[in-house]
Amino acid sequence: MTQEKTQTQPKQAQSNSDKKAQQYGVTPQSVDFNDWYNEVVKKADLADNSPVAGAMVMKPYGSALWERIVRWLDDEFKARDHESLVFPTLIPMSFIMKEADHVEGFAPELFTVNKIGTEVLAEPYVLRPTSETIIGHMWSGWLNSYRDLPFLHYQWGSVFRAELRTKAFLRTSEFYWHEGHTAHASAEEAQAEVRMILDLYHQFCRDILALPVVRGEKTASERFAGATSTYSIEGMMRDGKALQAGTSHYLGQKFSKAFGVKFQTRDQKEEFAYTTSWAISSRIIGALIMTHGDDKGLMMPPNIAPTQVIIIPVGRKDNFDEMVAEGEKLAAELRAQGVRVKVDKRDGVTNGFKYNEWELKGIPVRIELGPRDLEQGVVVVKDRTSDEKETLSRAEAVSGITSRLDAIQAFLLKRATDFMLDNTVTVDSYDEFKAAIEAGKWVRAFHSGDPESERQIKEDTKATARNIPLDDAEFFAEREEGVCVHTGKPAAYGKRVIFGRQY
């Protein structure tokens, strides 16, 4: 009874679902990607605008998703002997001023607290834009000897950076993240930490979120304010733009010198610690939406989906309750396999409405269960990634659920990977460069490393250097020599740089 499944291909999906999409009221991606995004975020109950300039409200579905992201990463940090701490949200203004590059980077974005109760403060506080400074200050009190090191710390919380144009998850003046902060007795150990975390982020994106990302180092102009070197993972959205999905910074001794984070070495000398910081924020939910979504709405990779299977009892007045009870039985069997499943028990809402709503929310698998199916011992199954329904024996649907979810997960990763590779162009002239960027592609090009040239490229094309892929990156890692696509000077880095427009 199994019908042939047709997995939805990105391009086909757009044309196929144009008409339907209008019914559900979501603008097709091809018409306006930005409108599509904003509508999906709101209608899928991920987030809403707030009365606070630039800040969003994470609604139940968005919050459930974020909690799953937090839980997975948190378990991994703990498994690697990292410890969570909780630092204050406020930072004394003078702390931000201590590291020169840091203050220059963050000053224009700071929220200032000038009053507590009726008392006007002599020294104002800022809402943390990031916590290197206050953590450096605390560490200076905690650190004595090399025996105390490493400090492997992180915290979950929110940070504040002014944003003029709000976009839920992507650009909000308050956003949610973990910030990792570690201190080490040697530069080598700190650098190994920075790479270990980058690799963990990569694994998380690939295996859990089905996001193919390029691991690489940032050019000097794109570094974090105050970092010695910055590494990132970059993903490609369905409109061809890049999204920086996570960063890991080697801070050298810059912050430890600014805050006196020093220790006695094994040979009784005094040295400043070598520090790192790293983060993944709630903007990764934006990456999930824009990498996998289609004109029907979200597509949740099963490994992160708060709900993996939705069961829809299809009955009429006289047998609806019975179908709900059958749905619950089926749900229990799926739950016993560790599947996250819900039964849609709402009465007085049409089946079509329910189908559309759960497709909009991107639930990986839908199972319909009607009285005739029950009689025949079958159920109707539809993957979110496919346009076809399948009629399966109930037993087959239950026993096959895990491999079905795995297949959807694999399909989403492959589809996103193919899309990224198909939309990345290797160029050797600036004209090709500009044309490719204009066409919404990433380009791989040689570059001199000159910051002024990067600035000029950005002015011409709105594209920036995303990163220089690492030698062990999964994509674009080839070592090559050449001349700069912009200046004709010898290329830096020994490989091509990824350029693209970014979120």
Q: Which parts of this chain interact with its own copies (CB under 8 A)?
A: 48, 50-53, 55-60, 62-64, 66-67, 83-92, 95, 107-118, 125, 127, 134, 137-138, 141-142, 153, 157-158, 160, 162, 173-174, 176
Cβ closest to its own copies, residue 67 vs residue 478: 67
Side-chain half-sphere exposure of 163, counting CA atoms within 13 A: 20
Contacts 24+ apart (CB under 8 A), 226-232: 226/99, 226/101, 226/102, 226/105, 226/132, 226/251, 226/254, 226/255, 227/251, 227/254, 227/277, 228/252, 228/254, 229/194, 231/194, 231/195, 231/198, 231/467, 231/470, 232/466, 232/467
* Residue 28 structure tokens: 């097709």
Cβ closest to its own copies, residue 44 vs residue 378: 44
**DSSP bridge pairs for 246:** 233
DSSP letters for 278-338: EEEETHHHHHHHHHH-BTTB----TTT-S-SEEEEE---TTTHHHHHHHHHHHHHHHHTTT
Side-chain half-sphere exposure of 48, counting CA atoms within 13 A: 8
Quote the least distance from Cβ 138 to its own copies, whole Å: 6
Quote the least distance from Cβ 316 to its own copies, whole Å: 21
Quote the least distance from Cβ 155 to its own copies, whole Å: 8
CA distance 126 to 159: 11
What are the C-alpha distances in Å from 394 to residues 216, 295, 324, 334?
47, 30, 15, 11
3-state secondary structure of 105: helix
Q: What are phi and psi of 62, to 5 degrees?
A: -65, -40
Cβ closest to its own copies, residue 93 vs residue 380: 93
Quote the least distance from Cβ 283 to its own copies, whole Å: 14
Cβ closest to its own copies, residue 103 vs residue 492: 103
Quote the least distance from Cβ 33 to its own copies, whole Å: 25
* Residue 42 structure tokens: 């709101």
Cβ closest to its own copies, residue 285 vs residue 412: 285
Quote the least distance from Cβ 95 to its own copies, whole Å: 7
Cβ closest to its own copies, residue 275 vs residue 409: 275
What are the C-alpha distances in Å from 300 to residues 51, 176, 359?
29, 20, 10
Cβ closest to its own copies, residue 163 vs residue 396: 163
Cβ closest to its own copies, residue 66 vs residue 476: 66
CA distance 232 to 498: 12
Quote the least distance from Cβ 422 to its own copies, whole Å: 36
* Residue 484 structure tokens: 């700069």
Quote the least distance from Cβ 42 to its own copies, whole Å: 11
Quote the least distance from Cβ 418 to its own copies, whole Å: 34
CA distance 81 to 98: 30
Quote the least distance from Cβ 292 to its own copies, whole Å: 22
CA distance 210 to 423: 18
Cβ closest to its own copies, residue 140 vs residue 393: 140
* Residue 349 structure tokens: 């809402």
Cβ closest to its own copies, residue 126 vs residue 473: 126
Cβ closest to its own copies, residue 19 vs residue 78: 78
CA distance 316 to 418: 44
* Residue 96 structure tokens: 């931000």
Quote the least distance from Cβ 148 to its own copies, whole Å: 12
* Residue 295 structure tokens: 């004109």
Residues 107 and 63: beta-carbon distance below 8 Å: no
